[in-house]
Amino acid sequence: MANRNPICVRIFAEEGVICAREEETRALGRELADGIAGPTILSLEGPLGAGKTCFVRGLAEGLGLAASEVSSPTFTLVHEYRGGRLPLVHFDLYRLESEEELPALGYDDYLQEAALCAIEWGDKFPGTLPDETLRIRFSIEGNHRRIRGIKSR
């Protein structure tokens, strides 16, 4: 279970984790994915440029997928990456206007898959996130990024 992962414990500590470089953000995602044994849903929340997609590249690496394949799904809204230890489904809800648009993406079906689902801007429609979702907040603090888990609702 992801919440027993030592990296997850660090992320969910009050201060979270500070990353000074993109590689540190990517490494944090990689380490988190290393400890994920089964289906997991992550809501990645925070402003543009805070490191969410970089973190997803690390998740891909931790699952045995090529990080170079991961791109921001801002315009296609969802990308699937298969062939790793678990499939990775990467959503970006930034451009959606309402949660009524989610069914057209296959959102509910993807959340039921045996996959790691990383949902950028998941806080845009919080009522659509399953209770077991791990919410991770990204913030920009000067030249650093703080990555911190948000306790369950």
Residue 42, domain extent: 2-150
- Cα(70)–Cα(15) distance, rounded to whole angstroms? 28
Q: What share of the chain is helix, strand, coil (3-state, %, to 5)?
A: 35, 25, 40
Q: Any idea what DSSP says for residue 35?
A: T
Q: How many CA atoms lie within 13 A of 36 on its CB side?
A: 30
Dig out the tokens for 64 from the structure. Answer: 């045995």
Q: What is the 3-state secondary structure (H, E, C) of 68-123?
A: HHCCCCCCCCEEEECCCCCCEEEEECCCCCCHHHHHHHCHHHHHHCCCEEEEECHH
Give pLDDT tens digits for 63-119: 999 888 887 766 678 999 999 999 999 999 999 999 999 999 999 999 999 999 999
Residue 152's pLDDT band (boundaries 50, 70, 90)? low
Q: What is the domain count for the chain?
A: 1
Residue 4's pLDDT band (boundaries 50, 70, 90)? low
CATH of the domain at 99: 3.40.50.300
- Cα(56)–Cα(71) distance, rounded to whole angstroms? 9
Residue 87 or 14, more confident: 87
